Structure 1
Amino acid sequence: MTRCFAASAMTLAAVPLAAASIDGFSPQRLSDIDKAISSDAFEGRGPATPAEPKVIDYIAQQFQAAGAQPGGDMVNGQRSWFQSVPLLRSEIAGTPSLSLNENGTVVPLRQGGDMAVLAPLNGAKQVDINNAPLVFVGYGVAAPERNWDDFKGQDVHGKILVLLINDPDFEGGEGDFGGKAMTYYGRWTYKFEEAARRGAAGVIIVHETAPASYGWGVVQNSNTIPQFDIVRDNPAAEHSSLESWIQRPLAVQLFQRSGLDFEQAKAAARRRDFQPIPLKATLSAHYAANTNVVTSHNVVGLLPGKTYPDETIIYSAHWDHLGIGTPDARGDRIYNGAIDNGTGIAQLIEQARVFAHGPRPDRSIVFLAVTGEEKGLLGSKYYAAHPLYPIGKTVGVLNVDVMNVWGKEKDFTIRGTAKLGLLDDLIAQGKLQGRYYTPDPHPETGGFYRSDHFSFAQQGVPAISFTPGLDLVNGGTAAGEAHTEDYNKNHYHQPSDEWSPNWDLSGMAEDSELLHQLGLHLANSREWPNWSPDSEFRAARDRSAVERGGPATSLPAPAPKKGERG
């Protein structure tokens, strides 16, 4: 059956399109949508929770009111507003029993305090690990194309891998992994995947704030709640029995009791000749897990193109957040996610409205609100593997994950340092606004791999995650950096990420207009953007060229008009 909109879903009073708007984008409407979707009524937007129907029905209602058509799964011969996303859900039952035996000293571990253990996603309903040996494997990287192997042929079956977050270049800023800019090898997702491929019993990632780019509170809040994965034929091939993090002081103690210096071991791990180091320690872990398959949903709006309806430009943003979790110092348990990513959803709904009220473009526009980003990009990963519209004829993806609420910016950026024609087009459109592009100021955070555009990039689709700049009109870069640092330290993935009437969304409206003009340019052109020749995603894009009727081409971006600022 087609889902019906829940009676409890909120609606917004009609706001004239031109009211308090910037080129059609209304800061007031953006604020109203964010206020609604990040309210306590939506319970932190946890996927596959009782709140999900309210959330997705609200988004679908807003798409419909904006003028979009349903663009999701076919139901009874018609498109619905939703794409079903089957997920494996796993939750630790009760309090896990965790302990280290450090060279004869037994150390009990507190879940969420000393250690953050994820609920198992390998299909197991019971985890019983008894004195599994620990081995330090540096950064846990096997990268033959970089002549790098942290394992050196050592058999790690049945062992617990202790490893570092980020990649070997982070500390020194230069080397085989692109310097400070994090590669995918630095992401925790890669490290879990590699451990499973090698048959390890488990993984312990040592948390340090700088290389992780977030504090322990983020690890605690994100990993001690129910976990999700897309449904897999062989989940044990992708996940070990134990996937976990520990705080740095515990790691220092662990190494000391093995007769090792933690900092010296880290330094050794930065060298190509690093050898795995057995620790004089074992780990025991016992806990049950409640697992089941649940269905979450992407919400999909569509504006069919008038000339090439089978060619699509996708605007995407994730609707989910962390739901209800550990209370903060105020006792607040609802993780509202007003900035992350209520702002992105507000922009997505406004894009649908502005496109629907303008001339219909030649190519189709898809508005994709995805689930499960906070659980590992699951909704976008599912769409990219089960596309509603052909991947090879997807012109590009314009993703937004966290927008600016502090006023207008002179600049803009994207997550990561990828080179692609889509970025050239964005820079050209930005110049028409009198703004300039700044490369990702913090590539060491691995932002490219932390948002939903990455799922499409892996399939070869040119994809960017637009990010606000830091050079604010009022206050400059110092103010932008201060706002960002405050948000990351005090609000990111915390209950205090709440809507505020004091925000200035004029910059968010201007950013939305920039993304609109980029999508409009792509939708009315015959351009097929591509990745740079040396990109790891170029081959997949080129393989799909046959779907587009010939070899992929990357046409030059439009130049600023004469007399306009460049």
Structure 2
Amino acid sequence: MYRLASTLALLLASTTAVAQPAFDPARITADVRTLSSDAFEGRGPATPAETRTVAYIVRQMQAAGLQPGGTPDASGKRGWTQDVPLLRSEITGTPTLGMTIAGTATPLTQGTQIAVRAALTGQKQVAIQNAPLVFVGYGVAASERNWDDFNGQDLKGKIAVVLINDPDFETGQGDFGGKAMTYYGRWTYKYEEAARRGAAGILIVHETAPASYGWATVKNSNTNTMFDIVRTNPTSSHTAMEGWIQRDLAVQLFKASGLDFDAEKAKAQTRGFRPVPLKATFTARYAVDAKVITSKNVLGRLPGTTHPDDTVIYSAHWDHLGIGQPDAKGDRIYNGAVDNATGVAALLELGRAYAKAPRTARSVVFLAVTAEEKGLLGSEYYAANPVYPLGQTVGVLNMDSMAVTGPAHDFGISGSAKLGLLDMLTAEGTKRNRRFSPEPHPEAGSFYRSDHFPMAKRGVPAISFDGGSDLVEGGAARGEALSRAYVQDRYHQPADEWSPDWNLAGMTADLDLLYAVGHDLASGTAWPNWSTDSEFRAERDKTAAQRR
């Protein structure tokens, strides 16, 4: 593991010994139960539920003793929020979707064989008529890897059909990091690249293993209201039609084209792959309600005593999917109890602990961001429009989907980043007889799916905490089984609800660890950094002059 200079040096930079606070499972439970109740309607941005959610978080921050940490007004007075302008887009009515496969008209049902998103280009209507389908492998153009799935293919007026994840996901060996997903494997990249190529649309073939979640998650995440940051030229980042198709439909498409799906996928895993036109066309017609709305990030703050311009940030996203397609029981409210009412409850509980303790030398900010479920949009907006300078942001500790299955012998972070902040976390974990475990499923691309990422790519040392899977009760086998069950049965589904069977002892242990690291940073003068070979190191070093 990378050491910034030495973990000891970082820890000795803290000058204030502090007694660890007691974190209250009853308060945490009350916050989670409230935020994930049906009354909060799944905490969808730009809905009445957002107003209730933001008001609740502000009330709890006020009661804890935090100060407003949001955007200052013309007089310099800070409020509790940061306005986040977003493009809100929703399909109105039932979309007409279909393919003509080898001459045979094949209607498609939204949410069943296909899941298309509302256009994020700002247009009010999507009208695609018999657009040719072209298989472009994994949809990757990576010049530094001498890899180009497009090979000169003109996609104008065509629909790109692409595979999810990286070309070496299945083999575990190759130019894209083996099982660990690169950004090229993320669906966000594939959408962006299709737009850069001028495609009329893109369809990603869903397979559970490389996607790391089932079709229910795809359907629920894509067939409801969509959001994006407000872009000057949205068509440079989005095609008019973006969506996913089931693997069975892809197999049918390839067979009708005289191709074997698995054989073509194997070809796509090689540098010699060439795009393959399919004997099929795609048709789509639907209206889109698109408008710019303003959502809110919420910020509470405790100013530092001697270095108030230096900032340590704890973050968590407050939003979830809102009201969407009903499940088998007819439930339409996506409560988001684990994801991420637990993270917000953790943020509030940490705020209470800091407010009761003596003030630290540096400022501490508690940031609840919006629209994570729509593509990390609240954190992306904050990172692009920081309330507190990124060059003087010491580090970010993000919390998403906290532990509800009891204490663990280990802990982790999303991804495999190497940075001094992780060294500090590991050292504090060792004091508590907890070890750091590398991410068990790097193929899921979790590093790119949490709110620390927009800060990390701008150079700020940032991690998204994971409570570990080697459980005190049941070990790693039980932890892995419970994680799989959550992803399959509750993740991005109405069943993600609070349960009286939760064991929050793991969450309170995690808060103890996160508090210790953040407090050391806020009390000292250390500036953790990325490893010298990190892709984020250069961005951080650009702001070195801002740090004393």
Q: How does 1:404-483 map to 2 (within 5 A)?
A: 404-483=403-482
Deviation at 1:36, TM superposition (A): 1.0
Partner in structure 1 of residue 158 of structure 2? 159
AA of the residue aligned to 2:473: N
Aligned-pair CA distance for 1:96: 0.9
Per-residue CA deviation, residues 12-54 of structure 1 (Å, 9 max, x unaligned), is xxxxxxxxx9842111211111111111111100000111110
- Aligned partner of 1:189 in structure 2 is 188
Q: Secondary structure at the match of 1:51?
A: helix
The whole-number CA distance in structure 2 between the counterparts of 1:486 and 1:470 is: 13
Question: Shift in Å at residue 113 of structure 1?
Answer: 0.7
| Structure 1 residue 503 corresponds to structure 2 residue 535 | no
Matched residue type, 1:50: P
User: CA–CA distance in 2 between the matches of 1:22 and 1:443?
Assistant: 32
Q: Tell me which residue corresponds to 1:117.
A: 116
Q: Deviations over 1:183-239 (max 9, x none)?
A: 111000000011111111110000000000000000110100010001111111110
Report the Cα distance in structure 2 between the residues aligned to 1:327 and 1:161, rounded to whole angstroms: 30
Match of 2:22 among 21, 24, 47: 24
Per mean C-alpha deviation after superposition, the further-off stretch among 108-117 and 536-545 is 536-545
Distance in 1 between residues matched to 2:305 and 2:122, nearest whole Å = 46
The residue that corresponds to 1:11 in the other structure is: none
Q: What is the rounded CA distance, in whole Å, between the counterparts of 1:38 and 1:540 in structure 2?
A: 38
Distance, in Å, in 1 between the alignment partners of 2:29 and 2:422 is 28
Matches within 5 A, 1:277-296: 277-296=276-295
Q: Are 1:381 and 2:383 an aligned pair?
A: no
Quote the Cα distance in structure 1 between the aligned partners of 2:547 and 2:356.
29
State the match for 1:370 in structure 2: 369
1:258 aligns with 2:257: yes
**Residue 83 (structure 2) pairs with residue 93 (structure 1):** no
User: CA offset at residue 436 of structure 1?
Assistant: 0.4
RMSD of Structure 2 on Structure 1 (CA): 1.1
Deviation at 1:372, TM superposition (A): 0.1
Unaligned runs of 5+ in 1: 1-20, 550-566
Quote the Cα distance in structure 1 between the aligned partners of 2:81 and 2:233.
27
Alignment correspondent of 2:148: 149
For 2:533, the aligned partner's letter is: D
Once the two structures are superposed, what CA deviation does each residue of 1:73-123 show, in whole Å capped at 9, x if it has no partner?
Answer: 113431100111000001111111111111211111101111000000011
CA distance in 2, matches of 1:181, 1:46: 31
- Amino acid in structure 1 at the alignment position of 2:25: P
Name 2:348's counterpart in structure 1. Answer: 349
One-letter identity of the residue aligned with 1:196:
A
Kept in 2, the 8 Å contact 1:328–1:495? The answer is yes
Tell me, in whole angstroms, the C-alpha distance in 2 between the residues paired with 1:403 and 1:435.
16
Aligned to 1:4: none
CA–CA distance in structure 2, aligned partners of residues 136 and 532 of structure 1: 38
- State the SS of the aligned residue for 1:219: helix
| d(CA) in 2 for partners of 1:145, 1:530 | 25
Q: Which deviations, in whole Å up to 9, do the C-alpha atoms of 1:289-333 show, x marking residues without a partner?
A: 011111100010001111111111110000000101111122111
The answer for the alignment partner of 1:140 in structure 2 is 139
The whole-number CA distance in structure 2 between the counterparts of 1:349 and 1:170 is 38
Structure 2: how far apart are the matches of 1:271 and 1:462?
A: 35
Give me the whole-angstrom Cα distance separating, in 2, the residues matched to 1:539 and 1:209. 36
* Residue number in structure 2 paired with 1:530: 529
The secondary structure found in structure 1 opposite 2:190 is: helix
Q: Who is 1:239 aligned against?
A: 238
Helix, strand or coil at the partner of 1:101: strand
What is the DSSP-based 3-state SS (H/G/I as helix, E as strand, rest coil) of the residue aligned with 2:329?
coil
Please tell me whether the aligned partners of residues 20 and 516 of structure 2 are also in contact (alpha carbons under 8 angstroms).
Answer: no
Q: Distance in 1 between matches of 2:127 and 2:167?
A: 32
Distance 2:100 2:544 in 1: 56
CA contact (8 A) 2:122 2:291 kept: no
Match of residue 35 from structure 2: 37
Q: Which residue of 2 aligns with 1:72?
A: 70
The 1-side partners of 2:459 and 2:157 are apart by 36
Identity, % of aligned positions: 64
The separation in 2 between residues aligned to 1:223 and 1:110, in whole angstroms, is 14
Q: How many Å separate the matches in 1 of 2:358 and 2:505?
A: 24
- Counterpart residue identity of residue 99, structure 1: G
Q: Deviations over 1:126-164 (max 9, x none)?
A: 111111111111000111111111111222122110000
In structure 2, how many angstroms separate the alpha carbons of the residues matched to 1:518 and 1:430? 9
* 1:544 equivalent in alignment to 2:543: yes
Secondary structure of 2:311's counterpart equals strand
Q: Which amino acid aligns with 1:63?
A: M
TM-score (norm. length: structure 2): 0.95
Provide the aligned length of Structure 1 versus Structure 2.
529
1:103·1:257 contact (CA, 8 Å) conserved in 2?
A: yes
Taking structure 1 as reference, are residues 22 and 396 closer, same or farther at Cα in structure 2, changes over 3 Å only? closer
Kindly provide the CA deviation profile for residues 252-272 of structure 1, in whole angstroms up to 9, marking residues without a partner as x. 000000111000010001001
Letter matched to residue 188 of structure 2: T
Partner in structure 1 of residue 202 of structure 2: 203
Look up the match of 2:129. Answer: 130
Q: Is the CA contact 1:218–1:493 (under 8 Å) kept in the aligned structure 2?
A: yes
The structure showing larger relative contact order (alpha-carbon pairs under 8 Å, at least 6 residues apart) is 2
> AA paired with 2:194?
A
Structure 1 residue identity aligned to 2:182? T
CA drift of 1:426 comes to: 0.7
Contact (CA 8 Å) 1:162, 1:205: kept in 2 or not?
yes
Partner Cα distance (1:544, 1:151) in 2: 37
Q: Which amino acid aligns with 1:65?
A: A
Pick from 45, 49, 53: which aligns with 1:51? 49
Q: What is the one-letter code of the residue matched to 2:39? A: A
Q: Gaps (5+ residues) in structure 2?
A: 1-18
1:396 aligns with 2:377: no
Question: What per-residue deviation string (whole Å, max 9, x for no partner) do you get for residues 342-377 of structure 1?
Answer: 110000000100011111111110100000000000
Deviation at 1:69, TM superposition (A): 0.4
- 2:14 is matched with none
Contact (CA 8 Å) 1:22, 1:509: kept in 2 or not?
no
Give the conservation status (yes or no) of the 8 Å contact 2:370–2:377.
yes
Q: Residue 555 of structure 1 aligns with which residue? A: none
- Aligned residue type for 1:461: V
Partner AA of 1:213 in structure 2: S
Distance 1:433 1:223 in 2: 41
Give the secondary structure class of the aligned counterpart of 2:459: coil
Q: Is the 8 A contact 1:208 1:248 kept in 2?
A: yes
CA displacement 1:413-471 (0-9 Å, x = unmatched): 00111111111111011111111000000111000000100010111111100001111
Q: Which amino acid aligns with 1:236?
A: T
What amino acid is aligned across from residue 231 of structure 2 in structure 1? R
Partner Cα distance (1:80, 1:545) in 2 = 30
Amino acid at match of 2:87: L
Give, in whole Å, the separation in 2 of the partners of 1:382 and 1:535.
23
What is the CA-CA distance between 1:276 and the residue it aligns to?
A: 0.8
